[in-house]
Amino acid sequence: NRCHIMVILSESDQILLNEQAVGRLQRRGQTKQVVSYRVVADGTVDDKQADTLLNRELAMRGSLGVAV
């Protein structure tokens, strides 16, 4: 009930670790809306990493037949 806001300064290259971090907030018993902020600096390695992670997640969801 106490934690419902997440600020991500640097994501992991591993999608599973990123999903686990979100899952720690979006859990059973959570009474508040979970808010997630991602800080990505334009023109840095974070910018490229965000594109890579997005493409990986879209490919994973596509292979599972999950609507995007």
pLDDT tens over the chain, length 68 residues: 678 888 988 888 787 888 888 888 878 888 888 888 988 777 777 777 777 878 888 887 788 776 65
- Classified as helix, coil or strand, 32 is coil
pLDDT of residue 67: 63
CA-CA distance, 2 to 30, in Å (whole number)? 9
Write down how long the chain is: 68
Q: What is the pTM of this model?
A: 0.57
Burial class (CB in 10 A: 0-12, 13-18, 19+), 55: exposed
pLDDT of residue 18: 81
